[in-house]
Amino acid sequence: MFSFNISPGFAWLLVVGAGAFEIVWAVGLRSSEGLTKFWPSVITLAAMGASVVLLGLSLKAIPLGTAYAVWGGIGTVGVAILGVLLYDEPATFMRIASIALITLGIVGLKLVD
C-alpha cells in the first residue's frame, strides 16, 4: 500500500508510542466496564488501533521479537504502576521488584538491538 523507510531511531519512538497506547487501552478496558460505556469504549478501541498500527510500522526497522517484547513490557509496567497509583493495588516488594525486572529486560532488549 505505502512504501517508505523508517529509521531505527524513529522505529523505537513508534514502539514507545505503541506501548503508551497499550497502557491507555488496558486502563480503558476497566473504565469502559467491559466496553459498556460509550466514550471510554471509543477511547479504548481507538487506543487499541493506534497501538497496533504504531507497532506494525516499527517492524520496518526493529525485529519482531524485540519490538513485541518491548511493546508488551511497556504496557505491562505502565499498567502495573497505574494499578498501584489509581486503583489501590498493593505495592508489595515482589510487585515492585517484578516491575523493575521487566524494565531491565526492556532496557536490555534495546541495548542489544
Residue 60 phi/psi, 5° resolution?
-70, -20
- Which residue would you say has higher pLDDT here, 2 or 37? 37
In the predicted structure, residue 41 carries a pLDDT above the cut 80: yes
Q: Are 70 and 106 in contact (CB under 8 A)?
A: yes
Placement of cell 526492556 in the chain:
106
User: What average pLDDT is seen over the chain?
Assistant: 95
Q: Show me where the domains of the chain are located.
A: 8-112
pTM of the full predicted structure? 0.91
Q: How many Å apart are CA 5 and CA 90, to the nearest integer?
A: 44
| Residue at grid coordinates 497509583 | 85
Contact 92, 37 (CB under 8 A): no
pLDDT, tens digit (0-9, with 9 covering 90-100), for 88-97: 999 999 999 9
22/3: higher pLDDT: 22
- The pLDDT value recorded for residue 59 is 96
Region 35-41: what's the mean pLDDT?
96
The mean pLDDT of 28-49, rounded to a whole number, is: 96
Ranges of H-type helices in the chain: 8-31, 38-58, 64-87, 93-112
What is the arithmetic mean of pLDDT over 79-107? 96
Q: Is the pLDDT of residue 1 over 70?
A: no
